[in-house]
Structure 1
């Protein structure tokens, strides 16, 4: 008789997995649809800003509006991704449904008027907010609610970048530094795949990045010790760049909080600083999302893959613009600016090390993010999903070394330390 529980346990596990997967489906479909709406709207407001560059002068007013929205309506939504991570670790006050529309509106305002921000935070927060709403509607327990929140993160990330495998691993890897939560593997994978498929079904197309590989090169690059040594050296610098971004963004946020008591006033001052930096540098290349630009001479992520597509210090200026924008209270994500920082730094290192610029731009693209978010495995998969598997070993080497050299913390305060990077 004692054998029956052992025989029934796999069936119970399968039934639980099917139940979780069914609950994840509406989360994924809603999140994928919300991400499609967001990406379509973001494309529209970005083009409006390009055709009406004078909108930059209203950035302080836009910042005041964003600040007032969150001050009076935000509740705890202002904590963004950190709120989601905390709720997964330790359920508390819940994720408010208002987070989704607030972050959508605030991010579009930020980009319409030229703030330097990304898009991952918006998609992830919308996914988490919708997952929280559905978990309350379905009246599920804490463990199931935790999985639904992770599914919302995975679906949002996978949909906004068109990288479903990365989205699934990111949702598991981002919770802890040094450990992955594999108990949610199947639900988050389903969520990310369905979220991405739903977003694509709405007609959304993602940026295609070109990393040229010879037709007869095979699936994997040949072993070249000198090239891998250069990749390792560059990865250390990518990790240090991630650490600089993290430190500067957190320090800017703390400085604004200490010096300006009234929160809605902080993005007003931040907007004025962004305008001042534009005129001090004499360029608008570091405004907005930065993926591409209608000006063929402007620096962008896509231009960084070309031999003359970036300047030596482009990565540093983007770091400063983004730290001021996000640190003062504007909304958006950190990830796309990190892509920009990494790609432009990789461009400069490729020239310095006399290696293909596109390869080192792609390495920086994923490795700076790996170091800042403490998600080296997810970023390695992102490199393969975006650029192909030929340089997969280089992608892994760059992400793991950047992670190790980026310091003990990252862009998400709520991450828990499971395994220290340096045990000494």
Structure 2
């Protein structure tokens, strides 16, 4: 062991030399894929808003997307959950066709007026492209896990312009309470390169307003931040559960997959027609930006939650994260009426806080908040994200996410359970504060 310690710097060097060029390639793939996605979504959104009559044809768009996946994409239909499954339980190389299918499917969603995001598309495109390198380098086991993790980091960083958050997100999203740091350097390089490549294509990310003044952290300010974080976590849990329940309902009632988004599209189109507004469909970025400037209707977050859960639950393609930003920012805006914190700060806290609870990624979400809203708001951002993570429980938007370690020291959960399995099995964790304390003391003594 002592001899090994002496040579560890010489072990680190080959690790860097090996993964630097590979991660650089992954970053190029990520940046290129995200640039194509961002450019196409911008066109789709602008065209829809200029020709709103197309929303009436959302059922047809849903059917086309569902039929396309039913004919050509059954093996990749699981999306982000397929990526997580392949990392944890490696079986087959992710098919290349996942990239074009999810790009087309997401654009159909936004063009016709569904409510969805873009991060899921970026992750799937990048990971499926990166996994083709497995054939070239003959990667297996840990090496392939690192490659896919770097792909997730590169995709996340390049689509949102947050390289630090993207780095940690790829590591943190795999399992609750457990991080594999052997993928840290490849994920960092892929995230940095991916973001820079997207910028080189001339694509620019949305600039959000920093809070004009960050209040001194008082006792009441701390309590307000904790209360806000708890509400963010409960809403994140609600979003995940409603989306999954809608999905299960439509799968149980409609056997032919393309009919599910057709029916969902019809419901959404009717709602948009009756409401007379398109603020609850698409990415919703204008409303997110507005939440930092003016007081919005307090029900905006609930309306976006329902529309997104219906869109994704019925089988439309797209991500969850940007709608979660919308839900969180507008929820924070509404909470400013009740809590002793300014609206722009609460909007920023909610922006990343709801996402932290829904994706179970408090560290990545905190870094994202700092990258987007400035270091001065970091303490409040961290409180919102961590408390949200705790209050969302062992639920989340990614059903293939593993439980590595329970969120609570007094609750034992079996390691390796997926969130989907945990939810279906209705596992009742054993809570024994005394035995938990004794076990920890015994481990410490050992």
Distance 1:13 1:211 in 2: 39
Within the candidate set 375, 391, 395, 1:405 is matched to 391
2:263 maps to 1:269? yes
Residues 37-78 of structure 1, C-alpha deviations (whole Å, 9 max, x = no match): 110111111000010000101110010110011111103211
Question: Structure 1 residues 243, 5: CA separation in 2 closer, same or farther (over 3 Å shift)?
Answer: closer
- Structure-1 residue corresponding to 2:108: 109
Residues 356-412 of structure 1, C-alpha deviations (whole Å, 9 max, x = no match): 111111110000000000000100000000000111111111100000001211000
- Structure-1 residue corresponding to 2:138: 139
TM-aligned CA deviation for residue 6 of structure 1: 5.0
TM-aligned CA deviation for residue 222 of structure 1: 3.1
TM-aligned CA deviation for residue 287 of structure 1: 0.8
TM-aligned CA deviation for residue 33 of structure 1: 0.8
- Structure-2 residue corresponding to 1:157: 156
Distance 1:385 1:238 in 2: 20
Correspondences of 1:6-405 after superposition (within 5 Å):
6-214=5-213, 222-292=216-286, 300-308=287-295, 310-405=296-391
SS at match of 2:281: coil
Deviates more, 1:135-144 or 1:331-340: 135-144
SS at match of 1:76: helix
TM-aligned CA deviation for residue 301 of structure 1: 0.6
Q: Which runs of 5+ in 1 are unaligned?
A: 293-299
Distance 2:24 2:138 in 1: 16
Give the alignment's Cα RMSD to 1 decimal: 1.5
What is the number of equivalent residue pairs in this alignment? Answer: 410
TM-score by length of 1: 0.94
Distance 1:389 1:13 in 2: 31
Distance 1:345 1:71 in 2: 36
CA contact (8 A) 1:25 1:194 kept: yes
TM-aligned CA deviation for residue 27 of structure 1: 1.2
- Structure-1 residue corresponding to 2:418: none
- Structure-1 residue corresponding to 2:443: none
TM-score by length of 2: 0.89
CA contact (8 A) 1:20 1:144 kept: no
Residues 4-54 of structure 1, C-alpha deviations (whole Å, 9 max, x = no match): 655444313320232022211111101111111110111111000010000
TM-aligned CA deviation for residue 92 of structure 1: 0.9
CA contact (8 A) 2:224 2:340 kept: no
